[in-house]
Amino acid sequence: MDAIPLALDGYLCTEPVDRNEDGTASWRVTCSPTDQLVDDATIPCTSQAPDVVDALLTQCRPGDLLRVTGHLVLPDRAGDGLRLQADTVDVLWEAPDLPDDPDASTAPAHQGSLTALNALADALDGLAGTPGPGPGIRVHLSLTGVLDADQERTVEITPQRAHQLADQTDAMTCHLASQPPDTVLDSQTIADLTDLFDGIDLNSLAMTVLATTRPEHRYQVALAVDDVCGETPFPGADDSDQ
């Protein structure tokens, strides 16, 4: 099968690896299709495009949120891993600079959650809008199970911005729910699926759909079928009211 076009958003896991001998950069991104940690997927990526390699090695660092576009290369043999051959890389969000701390090994275990909290608060600050005469919406952000006033943020947004945020959250939830499960198929399964779809007779399928369609709707359905299957003769065409 041909490589599959793909665009994904994910966090750069570790420092990219520079393979000087062939001008290739390799890296891994962690994607979160849902809010559950068990659903996180780590995707290996490679690229020989000079601008992509340069960006990865000079501009990106672990923790950055990247949008990677390219082609998903399926394994040639069962047991091999897939990889994303990247054509472009864009930084959607830069990981914040953390101060050098000789005692970094003793940093609190919730440091990652605190970084996420501050990123969310900063984003809400940018969304806040101009306060109006009426009451606003106050959003209090804090870490669960951590009693530390220095690790809390409060943001006030206008009701209009709150409605926009709710709409965007609903849209994001629907988008995530519509994504296919992150399943890696072995080569034999892929071959079986290819044979299955290659064996489908689109003309026969179109005729079956049209034959079970009510006569008054048949012309409109036939137009929709034509968009998918090409020009298809359909029963009752001469009698339909066009």
Which pLDDT does position 241 carry in this prediction? Answer: 46
For the chain, give the mean pLDDT. Answer: 76
CA dihedral 6, 7, 10, 14 (to 10 degrees): 60
Q: What is the pLDDT of residues 79-101, one digit of tens each?
A: 567 788 999 999 988 887 755 55
- For position 69, what pLDDT does the model report? 93
Report, in this order, helix, strand and coil percent for the chain, each rounded to 5: 40, 25, 35
What is the CA 25 to chain-centroid distance, rounded? 22
Higher pLDDT, 16 or 223: 16
Least confident of 4-18, 55-69, 108-122, 204-218: 108-122
Structural tokens at position 101: 């701390």
Note the Cα 94 to chain centre separation in Å: 17
- Percent of the chain beyond pLDDT 70? 74
pLDDT at 197 over 80: no
Task: Give pLDDT tens digits for 20-76.
Answer: 777 899 999 988 765 555 567 888 999 999 999 999 999 898 888 999 999 988 776
